[in-house]
Amino acid sequence: MFTRVCKEDTIAVGGMRVVIADAHVIILAWPDNGVIKAFQGVCPHTNMPLAEADFDGTVLTCPSHAWTWDMNTGAPIHPQESPLAEYPVKIEDGVVYIDTDGVSPLYASP
């Protein structure tokens, strides 16, 4: 079921923000050459929140140990190890909705 999380105009192209949907911490990112995407908002490395992560319009960098991901896909760049879980996103009448059903954050193997 899709849950309303924010208005579309609270995020800009090349920007990101953290939202909460159904108690999931989620990063909403709008890559420079893409569409709004939603990924787990906690780092697969240590479960640390990614609210303070750096986003350059394509790549998200965790502030703790600089793991990086492509925000078009959630695929890991460095290390090539742990992708971010992606949530379905829907935008209707300028409002962003996310579906958390069946999606759980992914974690690096210990």
Of 53 and 96, the one with the shorter C-beta distance to ligand FES is 53
Of 44 and 96, the one with the shorter C-beta distance to ligand FES is 44
Nearest approach in angstroms of CB 70 to ligand FES is 15
ω into 79 cis (within 30 of 0): yes
Of 40 and 100, the one with the shorter C-beta distance to ligand FES is 40
What value does the CA radius of gyration of the chain take, rounded to a whole number of Å? 13
Using CB under 6 A, list all residues that contact ligand FES: 43, 45-46, 48, 62, 64-65, 67
Nearest approach in angstroms of CB 61 to ligand FES is 9
Q: Is 96 helix (H, G, I), strand (E, B) or coil?
A: strand
Pairing type for strands 95-99 and 2-7 reads antiparallel
Helix (H) or strand (E) holding 40: strand 37-40
